[in-house]
Amino acid sequence: MTTPFITVRDLLRYAVSRFNASGLAYGHGSDNAYDEAAYLILHTLHLPLDTLEPFFDARLLASEIEEVLAVIARRADERLPAAYITHEAWMHGRRFYVDERVIVPRSFIGELLEDGLQPYVADPDEVGAVLELCTGSASLAILAAHAFPNADVDAVDISAPALEVAALNVTEYGLEDRIALFEGDLFAPLPERRYDVIIANPPYVNSASMAELPAEYRHEPALALAGGNDGMDIVRRIVGEARNWLTEEGVLIVEIGNERAHVEAAFGGLDLVWLPTSAGEDSVFLLSANDLPAP
């Protein structure tokens, strides 16, 4: 095959132009055409993902060029999130296997877990039990296992296919003895116990926003995104039942994306604590056990 492309630089320029011309949407690991193109090219060529510059002028084999062009075409033509092409997503330095059975992990709760949820959890080493609802790929459950080294982690999802992906990631990190996966509807499949921390990144996209999702997001399971008319269908159930499952000093932490107004309309009578993240203070809220409604 004869092409006008010779180097990594050539392919990077072409990919950025192609992505911009195609009007792609981002948000599954990168937020612009350049970073997305660099990631896909480096991954396809089996090069270090954080080392682009030394390879800019490397001359490529015809077979390598063909492979990269095929990946660029898939991203531009099929509007697939990059993570579904590479079958990996990165959160806070950790790699997770993903495919279209799960949404691409991208949670601000992951940032909070880097510090063991301090100061909202007094001593991460004293946390003995953590629950993650709507686990998907189990990325947050795995981050929680590292944040709370002495905790057992239970992770729940209603989707059996999602739990197949979760099991792959739990095994990859060697956490089978610490993370238990449960299939079912929120708290329903769990044995009776109390948790020091409950985290959830549930479906919260309201119906109007669901109707306007870019094509990239429509490749993700709607079950993991759609939260009903105001986005709060699942969140209401979590908040309504969580007190039954928390220890006296336990905390519930829920991510709600851009739905703060709907959260405050639904739970305005509760003592919501909005947690600071890189996106501001509108995406994740905390409720302590004593501030949750009685079941």
Q: What is the dihedral of CA 20, 24, 26, 28, to 10 degrees?
A: -130
For the stretch 84-135, pLDDT in tens is 999 999 998 899 999 999 999 999 999 999 999 999 998 999 999 999 999 9
The full set of domain ranges for the chain reads 8-86, 100-291
Q: Which of 49-53, 233-237, 252-256 has the lowest mean pLDDT?
A: 49-53
CATH number of this structure's domain 100-291:
3.40.50.150
Other beta carbons within 10 Å of 180: 16
Task: Tell how strand 246-255 and strand 195-200 pair up.
Answer: parallel
Name the band, by pLDDT with cuts 50, 70 and 90, for residue 2: low
Give the number of C-alpha atoms closer than 13 A to the C-alpha of residue 248, restricted to the C-beta side.
0
84 membership: H or E segment, kind and range: helix 82-86
pLDDT surpassing 70 at residue 233: yes
Q: Which residues contact 24 (CB under 8 A, 6 or more apart)?
A: 33, 36, 75, 76, 79, 216
For the stretch 238-255, pLDDT in tens is 999 999 999 999 999 999
pLDDT surpassing 70 at residue 181: yes
pLDDT (average), residues 72-76: 97
> Is 8-86's fold the same as 100-291's?
no
Mean pLDDT of the chain: 94
Quick one: CATH architecture of 8-86?
Orthogonal Bundle (1.10)
Radius of gyration (C-alpha) of the chain in whole angstroms: 21
Tokens standing for 238?
């979590």
Tokens standing for 69?
């062009």
Tokens standing for 86?
């590479």
- Closest to 110 (Cα-Cα) out of 131, 93, 97: 93
- Closest to 199 (Cα-Cα) out of 99, 145, 131: 131
| Residue 155, pLDDT score | 98
Q: Backbone phi, then psi, for 67, in 5-degree steps?
A: -65, -45
For the chain, the maximum distance between any two Cα atoms, rounded to a whole number of angstroms, is: 70
pLDDT (average), residues 158-184: 98
pLDDT surpassing 60 at residue 1: no
| Residue 89, pLDDT score | 95
Q: What is the dihedral of CA 242, 246, 249, 253, to 10 degrees?
A: -50
Tokens standing for 281?
């203070």
Q: Is 0.85 surpassed by the pTM of this model?
A: yes
| Residue 294, pLDDT score | 78
| Residue 42, pLDDT score | 96
Entry field: residues in the chain: 295
More confident position, 268 or 270 = 270
| Residue 117, pLDDT score | 94
Name the band, by pLDDT with cuts 50, 70 and 90, for residue 226: very high
pLDDT (average), residues 186-191: 96
| Position 182, amino acid | F
Give how far the C-alpha of residue 2 lies from the chain's centroid of Cα atoms, to the nearest Å.
Answer: 40
For the stretch 282-295, pLDDT in tens is 999 999 999 888 77
